[in-house]
Homo-oligomer: A and B are copies of this chain.
Amino acid sequence: MKARIRITLKNGVLDPQGKAIQHALGGLGFAGVEDVRQGKYIEVKLNETDEAKAKDAIEKMCKDLLANTVIENYSYELVA
């Protein structure tokens, strides 16, 4: 079972990487880019077939290691 985890900065937290990308896109001639936010994407392959157990494990991984929940949100989906 594989988890696709997205970790993003919370709204209101300054995102200089996103701003840099937005600026670069403007410089390349892309018009109409209103906002860019950059986050992390992590794929975790688990040796676990039970969806509920996998979900528990991923939830705990996000809280303990992957995301800084003070300034970051996380979301994930499980795929077989």
Residues of A bordering B, CB below 8 Å: 4, 6-8, 18, 21, 24-25, 28, 30-48, 57, 60-61, 64-66
Contact A61 B30 (CB under 8 A): yes
Residues of B within 8 A of A47 (CB): 31-34
Given the complex, which residues of B lie within 8 Å of A33, measured CB to CB?
44-47
- Taking a contact as CB atoms under 8 Å apart, the answer to whether A40 and B42 are in contact is no
Check if B24 sits within 8 Å of A65, measured CB to CB.
yes
Residue in contact with A36 in the complex, picked from B7, B43, B57, CB distance below 8 Å: B43
- Contact between chains at B7 and A30 (CB < 8 Å): no
Q: Within the complex, what minimum Cβ distance (angstroms) separates A40 from chain B?
A: 6
Taking a contact as CB atoms closer than 8 A, the residue among B18, B25, B34, B64 that contacts A65 in the complex is: B25
